[in-house]
A and B are shown apart, each in its own frame.
Chain A
Amino acid sequence: MKQENEHIDPKVEEMLSCIETHAKNIRHQNDLMEMVDNLAEAEVSAPKRHFWLYWAGATVAACVALVLFVVPKDAPRVAINPAGPVLASTQDEHFAAAYSPAETKKTSTVLIARQTAELDDGLGDNAQELQPSIVPTLPMKEEAYAYSETEDGIRVYCEYQCNAEEVIAHLEEIVKQSIVKP
């Protein structure tokens, strides 16, 4: 009975080994071809994946920028400046408005400075009169005002039941509507 490991003539073995090596090379080449196809496919797919990564990153960056720079904050846009800027005035008087940082979101203290003219002792009544002419639509706290005398004149402080942003917006709107001229 013949066995598989029967002795083979060396020359025959060498010849058959050549055929076997050729066949193995063909197999290796086929494997390498498939590998190259996969590598090429991966390179094509990578930009698509990168596109979505870049898009996601850009979206996150945009959201962060929105929160940081667009969403209104409690921090005042205008730093308190006793001398101005002049946001509203009447025919006779000029008022400079500035506000201090809101202590809460619902209240703010708006400084309305009357740069000229002197007020009578009845400042309380005048203050009440002043306030509606400047910011007529905003609710003012009752008796929430004070005044002080400076070189510029009489300063009237009016406290409003709203945040500083709304007060400034109203003052700017008044200027835009040319109700008073700066």
Chain B
Amino acid sequence: MNVEQFKSIILRHQPAMQRMAESLLHDEADAADAVQETFIQLWQQRKELDEVASTEAYCIAMVRCRCIDLLRKRHKVIPVDMQLSDSATEDTEERYRKAIEMVYRLPQQQRQTILMKYEELMSSEEIAQRLGITLSNLYTTLSRAYASLRDMLEKE
């Protein structure tokens, strides 16, 4: 397995692995660390990945084991059973697609602020500075965007 093939595995399975880790660890940063460490382990074992029937199940199982080990070290309660459904990834993709579609139906200024906050992960201060507006104006624009999205959801 070469580097590009391994990267394609990252693209395919990282979201599901992140969700599994967050559901166990309840912390986004810890979950990201667990996923990263799992990928390091997967890289070292990449020759065996060619023989695995389902790389998704294998990757999720590995990150789950790593999270459980982490919980044991922290003397935390380990969930009896935490399994993601097979369709979880597809649902997430579908929900994302619908969400983005609604956001792009917003007026320009509202759309811009929503995308900067939730897709570019910028802080309110950074958004206000980029757009050259005050924080108060930004919050007003966001409020209007939330109301618009609520109206779209109610109509569906």
Contact = CB atoms under 8 A, between A and B. Distances in A.
Interface in B23-41: 28, 32, 35-36, 39-40
Nearest to A26: B119
Interface residues of B, number: 39
Contacts of A20: 118-119, 121
Contact of B10 (A11, A18, A32): A32
Main secondary structure of the interface of B (DSSP, over half): helix
A35 B92 contact: no
Main secondary structure of the interface of A (DSSP, over half): helix
A8 interface: yes
A15 interface: yes
B153 interface: yes
A19 to B, nearest CB: 4
Given A9-B146, A32-B14, A32-B39, A15 B140 contact: no
Interface string B117-156: 0111100100000000001100110110010011001000
A53 interface: no
A40 B92 CA distance: 31
Interface in A1-47: 1-4, 6, 8-9, 11-12, 15-16, 18-25, 27-29, 31-33, 35-37, 39-40
13 contacts: A2-B136, A4-B124, A4-B139, A12-B153, A15-B95, A15-B102, A19-B99, A21-B92, A23-B120, A24-B18, A28-B14, A31-B36, A39-B40
